[in-house]
Structure 1
Amino acid sequence: MSETPPETPQILVDGDACPVKEEIYKVAFRRNVAVTVVSNSPFRVPVHPLVRRVVVSDGFDAADDWIAEAAGPKTVAITADILLADRCLKAGATVLSPSGKPFTTSSIGSQIATRAIMADLRAGGDIVGGPAPFSKTDRSRFLSALDEALARLTR
């Protein structure tokens, strides 16, 4: 009986509002890992054999559904969407936010609860504004976290 070779690592990107696409390409090219950028609207991606763009319908959660279905144990998913992160974790994927902070099975429950509380506070007008601006530190943390995640998957 022959053993099937392990699935090769891949990166799935929730692309519509991702601020670190260039960093993803840089790490992916260096590590020779395929990248799929999933979005509701077309935008430019590098013309490169490792990069694929998937444009889904503009239906609610269409991009999230595509990413969650494609995620697996050899996947690094990049998203700021906590509910998508939860779905990818349940599929066995490694999940990173664009700031480089990992979503984990032990932290996702509290992150979902905090998201719900914040949504309620915003709906009541108690909180206005959004997350802090994306910083150079976030970008640097992301590069390091993605590189480490891919190193773990290729061992």
Structure 2
Amino acid sequence: MKILVDGDACPGRQLIEKAAKEDSIPVIILCDINHYITSDYSEVICVDAGFQSVDVSLINKASKGDIVVTGDFGVAAMALGKGAYAISGKGFVYDDSNIDKLLFERHIAAKARRAGNRTSTIKKRTTEDDDRLYKNLKFLISKARK
């Protein structure tokens, strides 16, 4: 088991590494060459700055039982399809019971934006988000170990 992190837009990286260290789980952070990420614990892999290059690399490295941290519903859906677990940077666990709804809502929002409408803005990160991320990541780690 390993934790793969979509590093181009991943808050809470310190909490992810803390949870991983406690259980001696390797962490791989993927980012494109436009982002400079360093870590004392995680392996950082930089890929070319192409459209969805990080997403494709992350999914290619994911295996059954891994944990994928991403805010991208499409990446989460592909991870679930490979038998991996998926969680957002704010600690929301993606699973078969919610991923279709999330993908559909993303599709509707994209259609609305193309039509010139505005969709909701991203909310600022809170301490509740941090708490949820750590708690749910520890839950997924224990689930993946069974």
Provide the TM-score with structure 2 as the length reference: 0.93
| 2:37 aligned residue | 44
Output one character per residue of 1:27-57: Cα deviation in whole Å (capped at 9) or x when no partner: 1111100000000035232223xx2011011
User: Deviation of residue 154 (structure 1)?
Assistant: 1.8
User: Which residues in structure 2 correspond to 1:1-155 (within 5 Å)?
Assistant: 9-41=1-33, 42-48=35-41, 51-155=42-146
One-letter code of the match for 1:63? V
Name the CA distance, whole Å, in 1 between partners of 2:89 and 2:98: 17
Name the CA distance, whole Å, in 1 between partners of 2:119 and 2:62: 34
Identical aligned residues as a percent:
25
Point out the more displaced range, 20-29 or 128-137.
Answer: 128-137
Root mean square deviation, CA, Å: 1.3
Name the CA distance, whole Å, in 1 between partners of 2:68 and 2:119: 29
Name the CA distance, whole Å, in 1 between partners of 2:139 and 2:57: 25
Output one character per residue of 1:4-44: Cα deviation in whole Å (capped at 9) or x when no partner: xxxxx100000011011111111111110000000003523
Name the CA distance, whole Å, in 2 between partners of 1:123 and 1:95: 28
- SS of the aligned residue for 1:44 comes to coil
- SS of the aligned residue for 2:27 comes to strand
Unaligned runs of 5+ in 2: none
